[in-house]
Chain A
């Protein structure tokens, strides 16, 4: 049989789509610490330390005139400028974003410029917020969760990929970090779906274990993600997508016994470094792609009704 092709998802397109309706105003932090020109570098350092922030805008009647970063503070320590006014040592020519702009503007600003935060201004050019990559990530994940929740309340039966008119079952599950409670829901449903269709027990087990391993992987090792089950007459396709942190060395992760699991994960009985190799072993087709800080996509296909399976069963 020919395996069902996973529709190629253009990730950046998907992100653009998610960000589509959001404006910078929707994601920015509104509670902003700002200082005036006459504050000292030491004042700024104290505010940073007490509030665990790494960059503070300098304002003059609500207009941004500069920024002080941790880097500037370090230079000030080195040069003995801590008692000086911020006006003397701040970074000037600060780039600001407008609260009316779409979120995608902020995303391209982060990829274009080396800054880790941007002050956000209103139409009168007054400081109204700050935006960091974290704001953006949180907003995208929230938006994704919202869309998934909508999917789930609609019975989880979203439109399957157009190419697959032979699709029997299609469902997406949302999995959160360390939510071991939810681990196993997808595999239980997969098992039941295959059982009622009279699939051989050996095949059911392979598919269910592969699915369970991928569920646990998302829960134990990622910031959260989704798992999609797709069943047609010929095969089961399990797709696991997570939101990061990504696997720096995929080859190493595929090695039996290699694990990055912490003690807590191990205390749950997991973390022997077998998850990925075991999933691959059980799959008829297996593919993994990972980008650090982007996420990991894993595809596992288990063929149904293979002749090998039939001969196994007749033993």
Chain B
């Protein structure tokens, strides 16, 4: 089991919403997808969700599957509304300029180790 903090660090991700105690939230798995349909079919628990989608539905979907946090990859400019919605939901939200593939590559060894 991984803590969220080292995973965010390895991605050099920017914190958009970090509710108190986010660092210690536990992550069991990572799911990377730009298709909400696929995220909804996924079965993993305590998931860290990686996506380049920027719609409101991403956060709702994360909520519905009980995701631990969301990292918006491949994106530099994040709509303010998205950050605001994450704050309201109490969902940790990050952005990373890395591509989804590169983000997964960096997370891989950490997830393997756990």
Binding site for B on A (CB under 8 A): 180-181, 183-184, 187-188, 191, 201-202, 204-205, 208-209, 211-213, 268-275, 278
| B90 smallest CB distance to A (angstroms) | 12
Is B26 positioned at the interface, with any CB of A under 8 Å from its CB? no
Interface of A is mostly: helix
With an 8 Å Cβ cutoff, the count of chain B residues facing the other chain is 19
How far is B41's CA from A273's CA once the two chains are assembled, in angstroms? 11
* Smallest CB gap from B63: residue in A: A188
- Binary flags per residue of B6-35, CB closer than 8 Å to A gives 1, else 0: 000000000000000000000000000011
* Smallest CB gap from B36: residue in A: A269
Docked-complex contact A187 and B64, CB < 8 angstroms: yes
| B28 smallest CB distance to A (angstroms) | 12
Binding site for A on B (CB under 8 A): 34-38, 40-41, 45, 53, 55-58, 60-61, 63-66
Q: Which residues from A are CB-within-8-Å of B64?
A: 184, 187-188, 191, 205, 208-209, 211-212
Q: Which residues from B are CB-within-8-Å of A183?
A: 57, 60
| A97 smallest CB distance to B (angstroms) | 45
How far is B61's CA from A83's CA once the two chains are assembled, in angstroms? 62
3 shortest interchain CB distances as A-B pairs: A184-B60, A272-B37, A269-B36
How far is B36's CA from A269's CA once the two chains are assembled, in angstroms? 5
Q: Which residues from A are CB-within-8-Å of B38?
A: 272, 274
A180, A205, A268, A272: the one contacting B65 at CB < 8 Å is A205
